[in-house]
Amino acid sequence: MKPLDYIDELKKQYVNTDIDWEMVLEHGYRLFLDSESTVIDIGGHAGRHTDVFVDQIGCARVLVFEPLPHQFEWLRERYRQHRQVEVFECALGEQTGTSDFVFNRSSPAESGLRERVYNDPDNREVETLRVARAKLDAWTPKLDRLDYVKIDTEGGEVDIIRGGREMIGRFRPVLSIEYGAASYQVYGHTQDTLFDLMAELGYGLFDLFGHALATREDWRACSDNYYWDFYGVPLEAADSFTQRLSGIWKSLPDFAIRPA
């Protein structure tokens, strides 16, 4: 079955229901992370996934990046007693310095370095803040391993990966990347931008169920279709990654389906 067929099957099987995609993502990374893992959470926000990394999986080291001052302070206080957690108040990208950051008070999760197309534009309430900006590669010398990087930054994902080429090349972590047209287009990116970048790095793109989006045709058919979260996986680890995630499809109704 081709990746697009899986999307069609999801649409048919779960009509009039909601799929909790954050829960699907969590269910996936639980299959390849453990107590020895080092994780980077870019876009820590309210700690939805950091809580899992720290309190449930018990990862050995967790680095969290959050540019919004009030969210940073909350995260720093939340994990103050966790010695394996480091929280950094900055946005990540391809350049260092400072940058404007568009904070949408009515929907904080849609905040980013640029003003994206909002899900509820009539009720948007935006404020521009000045934040520090850094490159992910600046942390490469501080790590001795890296297993997973979660990137959810409302369109800034490509620039973050470009600013982390050294780190990615050295440690070959699994990446999860939110990538939807409503946000990536305001950065001047297209569907193909992420596909081409992954190919340059020796990575392949996968959906959250471990299905490979190996061709440009498959990627174009599946991106901006039914979901917006994908994995970037080193090609040398692709087979084992698919095997680890193979059971998610069958167990989906047990953990991520709710009435619409």
Query: Residue 21 sits in a domain of what CATH number?
Result: 3.40.50.150
pLDDT of residue 102: 78
Task: Tell me the C-alpha to C-alpha distance, in Å, between residue 41 and each of 92, 100, 151, 189.
Answer: 11, 21, 7, 22
65 neighbors 92 (Cβ within 8 angstroms): yes
In a domain, 120, yes or no: no
In a domain, 146, yes or no: yes
In a domain, 126, yes or no: no
Domain limits at 232?
3-96+136-250
The list of the chain residues with pLDDT below 70 reads 105-125, 260
Dist. CA 22–CA 29, nearest whole Å:
11
> How many domains are contained in the chain?
1
Q: Which residues pair with 39 in a beta bridge?
A: 62, 148
pLDDT digits 0-9 by tens, 205-259: 999 999 999 999 999 999 999 999 999 999 999 999 999 998 888 888 888 887 7
CA dihedral 149, 153, 155, 160 (to 10 degrees): -50
Model pTM score: 0.93
Dist. CA 15–CA 8, nearest whole Å:
11
In a domain, 114, yes or no: no
In a domain, 111, yes or no: no
In a domain, 257, yes or no: no
